Amino acid sequence: MSRIKISCDFCGTVKKESLYIIGTVEWCLVSPAAHTWINTPVPLGEKVRRTEAGLGKYPECILQKLISSFYVDNCLASVQTQSELDRFNDVATEITAERKFDLRGWEHSSPSNPIASPTNVLGMIWNRHWDTLLLNIPDLRELMEEVITKRNILADSHKAFDHLGSLVQCYYYQSFGYKKTQSIACTLRFIQNVSNATKLKGILGCEEFERAEVLVFTSLQSNAFQDERLLAKMQAFKDEDGLQRIRTKLPDSYEKEDFKFTILLPASDVVVKLIQEEQVKSMHAGSSILLARLREQFWIIRAKRLVKQVLSECVNCKRYKAKHVEVPFAPLPRDRITQTKIFEVTGVDYASLYLKSKAKVWIVLFTCAVYRAVQFDLVQSLTINTFFQALRRFIARRGRISVPYRE
């Protein structure tokens, strides 16, 4: 985990740079910079990408960190040491200065400096003494004094800005795999605390979750894969954690180790739960995308069959794959299938308004119900007299109507 975090944004003013060192994690906050040759606000990272000329003289790692760390007009990055921070400061300031930007207001924390006031970072309040991020939410006591309505709740909830996504994890649904891994991790900690003098306290760490996941996978593999000939046929091998992995055809690629050597899993109920959770994460993308996402980390026996089974039981997928109900055509009435003269069975209706040369007229539509022929006429009003005049003109040209259809 990097120790130094960095951010920056746009502004039309220029201010002297200042450096603050407080706390244990060092932050660099680059406040607003001015763009002098554009009128519309363009994200700073996009502007650096568009003007790549002259960037070859800078270190590639710093360039990639600078370009990929922009959030609209703010930059959030992280480095490990104070020397890396100074180097990033110099390179970022020089690159942006060449493109008529001004980066200023650098801030970060260190125990050597006195306690500074809290700083706003993308809508969050950063306490540089305790090294914490706080959400600036309205006072709920004032909300309770008012009449609680849906409008008031939505208005107060939209006052909280979380551009960093720091609170997203609070809304994560605890999946079946997470609950199972968490319970096993708690059991392993209990065993360790009972057998050792040093007691582990606090929340579960990443290493404890990783050990619990390894224990779950090794338990599944030991119960399902006991035939050594089958494992040899699949070119499976055990890694340092005792997990059975499959050698893929991409061992020399630059992908992750889990992708190059996937974990072998059987077709069990626990794996079905895993597929169901991955399907929800992929937003019900379909069998091909779901298989591709699973094979980035796991090699599941009879994976296609399990994926089809999961998709067939998914209510959301059934809803979107349902066929439209085809209503059978009703039989045509006798008047439409009788051999008659043209326009002997006729329907009449007004079409739309027609405007031309400042004259307002309406279109009268006569259609033959048998041969689907049409005839148009124009009337200057929607009165009964004008309609009868149009009807007389039609009869004078086409003959009498035996069966009329009208509104």
In the prediction, which pLDDT does 338 show? 86
Q: What is the CA radius of gyration of the chain?
A: 36
Residue 207's alpha-carbon distances to 212, 243, 265, in angstroms, are: 9, 16, 22
Residue 106's alpha-carbon distances to 8, 16, 29, 148, 260, in angstroms, are: 9, 10, 5, 42, 41
Q: Which of 271, 285, 6 is nearest to 126 (CA)?
A: 6
In the prediction, which pLDDT does 407 show? 73
As a dihedral over the C-alpha atoms of residue 114, residue 167, residue 211, residue 221, rounded to 10 degrees, the angle is: -160
Q: Do 335 and 310 form a contact (C-beta atoms < 8 A)?
A: no
Q: Which of 197, 133, 140 is nearest to 170 (CA)?
A: 133
In the prediction, which pLDDT does 176 show? 58
In the prediction, which pLDDT does 174 show? 56
> DSSP per residue over 172-236, as a string?
----HHHHHHHHHHHHHHHHHHHHSSSPP-SSPPHHHHHHHHHHHHHHHHHHH---HHHHHHTTE
Residue 250's alpha-carbon distances to 189, 247, 259, 260, 393, in angstroms, are: 37, 8, 8, 6, 82
Q: Quick one: the chain helix, strand, coil %, rounded to 5?
A: 40, 20, 40
In the prediction, which pLDDT does 306 show? 92
Residue 150 structure tokens? 């849906």
In the prediction, which pLDDT does 290 show? 92
Q: Which of 291, 311, 310 is nearest to 300 (CA)?
A: 291
Reported as half-sphere exposure (CB side, CA atoms, 13 A), residue 284 has a value of: 11
Q: Do 64 and 43 form a contact (C-beta atoms < 8 A)?
A: no
291 by Cβ neighbours in 10 Å (0-12 / 13-18 / 19+) ranks as middle
In the prediction, which pLDDT does 346 show? 93
Residue 60 structure tokens? 């590639």
Q: Do 283 and 262 form a contact (C-beta atoms < 8 A)?
A: no
How wide is the angle at C-alpha 118 spanned by C-alphas 27 and 104, nearest 5°? 50
Residues recorded for the chain: 407
In the prediction, which pLDDT does 31 show? 34
Q: Mean pLDDT for each consecutive 10-residue tract of the chain (407 residues)?
A: 54 36 32 31 53 68 78 72 81 80 70 64 75 72 72 76 62 62 89 86 85 88 85 87 87 84 88 88 88 90 91 88 85 88 92 81 92 92 92 93 86
In the prediction, which pLDDT does 204 show? 84
- 3-class DSSP assignment, residue 399: coil
- 3-class DSSP assignment, residue 360: strand
In the prediction, which pLDDT does 396 show? 93
Residue 363's alpha-carbon distances to 380, 385, 394, 401, in angstroms, are: 9, 15, 13, 20
Separation between Cα atoms, residue 312 and residue 292, nearest integer Å: 18
Sequence-distant (≥ 6) Cβ neighbours of residue 275 within 8 angstroms: 290, 294, 300, 306, 307, 310
